[in-house]
Structure 1
Amino acid sequence: MRSLLAPLVVTLALAALCCCEKDPKDPAGSSSAASIKIKKEVANAFVKRQKRSSLYERYFEYYKSPMEQMHERCENYPPCDYLSDQIGFYTAYNRFFGRY
């Protein structure tokens, strides 16, 4: 039974390929450069960049908050980084760097 199963599967696969083959003269099946172009308006509809509108947002893009600076200082010091995973960031930071 198993010896007949493999040739049967191969025959069915070849039959499916022959039946589903596209006509080589069909222009819709070609993958030329002209077939993949889309209009500029359509492309820009889903690839829009979010623009920053206020100076407040630009300020915080360049300058980090004090808490973020503390996180980076702790992450750059391996013992503090390891301990922050164990007991929490704030406690680990205070243990290695003091209050501020």
Structure 2
Amino acid sequence: MKILLAPLIVTLALAVLCCGEKGIKIKKEVANTFVKRQKRSSLYEWYSEYYKSPMEQMHERCENYPPCDYLSDQIGFSMAYNRFFGRY
């Protein structure tokens, strides 16, 4: 355990010295090379990313309305949604 403690302390000390006064500045192009978004491989994945199912839309509607969200934790989503928004 002591073997790992010394390098950890040195690393933290260097991090404090480097980042203490200034923030880390990275160019946008350099940052994009680290964080590249994976391309969607199929039409279904692309479609499901942009369009939500009706059930997911109902869940979000209930979550955005605090009384419905609270009641759904108590008695379940379907009964809470029916109480506040009618049948689905």
TM-score by length of 2: 0.55
Supply the AA of the counterpart residue of 2:64: N
Count how many residue pairs are aligned between Structure 1 and Structure 2: 55
Supply the AA of the counterpart residue of 2:55: M
Unaligned runs of 5+ in 1: 1-46
- In structure 1, C-alpha distance between the alignment counterparts of 2:54 and 2:83, rounded to whole Å: 18
| 1:75 aligned residue (56, 63, 88) | 63
| 1:51 aligned residue (39, 64, 68) | 39
- Aligned residue for 2:55, secondary structure, equals helix
Greater C-alpha radius of gyration: 1
Percentage of matched positions with identical amino acids: 93
TM-score by length of 1: 0.49
Partner of 2:10: none
Partner of 1:62: 50
Partner of 2:78: 90
- In structure 2, C-alpha distance between the alignment counterparts of 1:69 and 1:60, rounded to whole Å: 13
Q: CA RMSD in A?
A: 1.7
- In structure 2, C-alpha distance between the alignment counterparts of 1:72 and 1:89, rounded to whole Å: 11
Unaligned runs of 5+ in 2: 1-34
- In structure 1, C-alpha distance between the alignment counterparts of 2:61 and 2:37, rounded to whole Å: 32
